[in-house]
Amino acid sequence: MKKKIILSVVALLAMAASPVYAQFSLNGEFRPRTEVSHGYKTLATPDQDASWYTSQRTRLNALYKSEKVITMMSLQDVRIWGSQAQLTTNEDYATSIHQAWAEMLLTPTLSVKAGRQEVVYDDQRIFGNVGWAQQARSHDMLILKYQKDINLHFGFAHHENSNPANNLYDGADAYKNLQFLWFNKTWDKASLSLLALNNGLAVTTGDKQEVRYNQTLGGHASFAIGAVNFAGNAYLQTGKTAANAELSAYNLLLEASVKQGFTLGFERLSGNAYDDTKAKSFTPLYGTNHKFNGYMDYFYVGNHLNSVGLDDFYLKYGYKKDKLGIDAHIHYFAAAADISANARRSLGTEIDLQAAYTISDEASISCGYSMLFGTDSMELLKDGDKSTSNYWGYIMLTVTPNFLK
């Protein structure tokens, strides 16, 4: 009897000393992707050969949750097969930190999250993690969150060099200062989000630096009427560009989808006409742009900035049954502003086909093929030759094992 009592006391002490409410998971991601292209991002030339390469993303993710604290660390290695020697003797290909943040729960409704983190809101038009890109996107940022009947997030970022004494920033990031306020309210069949973003760009002249700010104001809404789901975006941009020009730009999106898998939509991103003296080109900033205007990335994926903008009319179809998913998209592209005095605005048509098959909870395979049919006006913008075959395809394996949970 005495022995049982001692064992019970030891067990109780062990439970009291250990954080029984804590959760810890350790998982990975292995994502090799082979791509072939001829005319990806821009029209191919007649003498251009097709390219073929394999890239890979490898991640190790650790997540810890307790009653008052949530932390995450994500180590990441991104490479193209063959870019690193088999006998590696240097640190040029060192693993990087994709995420490393901690969130403290101050009250049941108020928390603060700080560190390197993915920032994703709404349909990812302005803030997204760019998950398709092997390297993806993360920010060094602090976010104060209030979450109850409404969601209210305040984000703040300030970047410096490794030697911050002179307060001059010439780092690789797109901004020196950034602040945003995001509001969200959901109902049974509707959701509304509002965003106010202040984006500060560092401009250095000689030994002096100033920060030029532009603002993005607007929001995202979705609602259902009967069997039809509607979604829309509306954003305005104002302030100053890095070149100190007055900015006046906008973005509009409206789409309707039905349960049968069809989505019909239109998006406009305003642009500069050839004879404009004011900056009118909208920049979608830190969004996941690959998901919007065609998978061949002709627009707003590291390109087409400060240009003639875009009108994108699209029809999408998605089919999913059991472990198989199939998507087919068609886009008609046009310039949102005049390219020249005589050029037509029509830029071309793109067709995107994609299929994915889930092998298990931890493994899937996907593939896709896209074709773009350009116009004379696309040649004016992108160079290249519209008569060439412009295509892009891929096959990707994704494995996400749970090492510990």
Query: Does a structural domain hold residue 172?
Result: no
| 74 pLDDT more than 90 | yes
Given this model, what pLDDT does residue 9 score?
Answer: 44
| 123 pLDDT more than 50 | yes
**Residue 29: partners with Cβ closer than 8 Å, 6 or more residues away:** 57, 58, 59, 61, 398, 399, 400
Given this model, what pLDDT does residue 361 score?
Answer: 95
Spatial distance between the Cα atoms of 137 and 118, rounded to a whole number of angstroms: 6
Query: Does a structural domain hold residue 128?
Result: no
Give the mean model confidence (pLDDT) for residues 221-247. 96
Local confidence band at 371 (pLDDT 50, 70, 90 cut-offs)? very high
Which range, of 202-211, 349-358, 376-385, averages the lowest pLDDT? 202-211
Which has the closest alpha carbon to 395: 355, 358, 350?
Answer: 355
Query: Which class for 189: exposed (0-12), middle (13-18), buried (19 or more C-beta within 10 A)?
Result: exposed
Local confidence band at 45 (pLDDT 50, 70, 90 cut-offs)? very high
Given this model, what pLDDT does residue 93 score?
Answer: 62
Structural domain boundaries, residue 322: 24-58+74-96+189-194+201-404
| Mean pLDDT across the chain | 92
| 92 pLDDT more than 70 | no
Query: Does a structural domain hold residue 205?
Result: yes
Amino acid, single-letter form, for residue 195: L
What are 278-308's pLDDT values in tens digits?
899 999 999 999 999 999 999 999 999 999 9
Given this model, what pLDDT does residue 90 score?
Answer: 65
Query: Does a structural domain hold residue 400?
Result: yes
| 49 pLDDT more than 60 | yes
Q: CA 28, 71, 137, 132: dihedral to nearest 10 degrees?
A: 30
Given this model, what pLDDT does residue 160 score?
Answer: 85
Specify the number of domains making up the chain: 1
Q: 104 near 69, Cβ under 8 Å?
A: yes
| 326 pLDDT more than 60 | yes
Query: Does a structural domain hold residue 159?
Result: no
Q: 375 near 345, Cβ under 8 Å?
A: no
Spatial distance between the Cα atoms of 237 and 215, rounded to a whole number of angstroms: 5
What are 391-403's pLDDT values in tens digits?
999 999 999 999 9
Q: 253 near 220, Cβ under 8 Å?
A: no
CATH number assigned to the domain comprising residue 370? 2.40.160.100
Query: Does a structural domain hold residue 318?
Result: yes
| 213 pLDDT more than 90 | yes
Given this model, what pLDDT does residue 208 score?
Answer: 84
Query: Does a structural domain hold residue 299?
Result: yes
| 14 pLDDT more than 50 | no
Estimate to the nearest angstrom the gap between the alpha carbon of 257 and the chain centroid.
22
Query: Does a structural domain hold residue 175?
Result: no
Which has the closest alpha carbon to 285: 272, 269, 267?
Answer: 269
Give the mean model confidence (pLDDT) for residues 78-93. 80
